[in-house]
Structure 1
């Protein structure tokens, strides 16, 4: 019951908002969305900022 029927996830990280915007309008992403969206019954999108906890050495 914890998974609520979800079986897959995709994790994407972007360094800047401009990268995310470019991804959203990229032809490959648009084609993927067009082909696979009809097969998806439920979707959850989480959008959250990353927080640097410890700077790299």
Structure 2
């Protein structure tokens, strides 16, 4: 899952630029993200997904 490592590197690099907290991996739960939303000036979500475009 190389794409997952890329998303984590991206999140950490951006957090470092802005001197911000990075939530990655098991830390990035819905509860933890929601807890920090009200204090954030900016939010960056690095995500990836898979989809099947075959329609039947």
TM range, normalised to the smaller chain?
Answer: 0.3 to 0.5
Using the size of structure 1 for normalisation, the TM-score is 0.36
Using the size of structure 2 for normalisation, the TM-score is 0.36
More contact order relative to length (CA 8 Å, sep ≥ 6): 2
